[in-house]
Amino acid sequence: MATVPHEIAKIFQSQKDRLRNADEPHMMRPKADRKPLKGLARTLYLNKLAKLSKAEAFAASGFVTKVLVKKEKKDEM
């Protein structure tokens, strides 16, 4: 059974890894010619709504923005 401090450390390490992957993709294995994520693609990846390899393509499609806008409007009501 894992202890609470260990689980908390695991959560923060995961967030730290996602930030590093989004900002410095050249540090990942296997080496790929990826550019740092920006804008909507970065937000999607950091919120675990898209994988790193698919974040750019998913952000470029209009589907995501429509869903996010509808969700935000629903939350405001």
Q: With a cut of 70, say whether residue 32 has pLDDT above it.
A: no
pLDDT value of residue 64: 58
Q: pTM for the complete prediction?
A: 0.59
- Output 30 or 13, whichever has higher pLDDT: 13
- pLDDT for 42-68, tens place per residue? 888 888 888 888 888 888 887 655 666
DSSP state letters, the chain: ---HHHHHHHHHHHHHHHHHHHH-GGGSSS---PPPP-HHHHHHHHTTSS-TTTHHHHHHSHHHHHHHHHHHHHHH-
Structural Rg of the chain based on CA atoms: 15
Neighbours of 23 (CB within 10 A): 12
pLDDT value of residue 74: 64
pLDDT value of residue 65: 58
Q: Say how many residues make up the chain.
A: 77
The overall average pLDDT reported for the chain is: 77
Which residue ranges make up each domain of the chain? 4-76
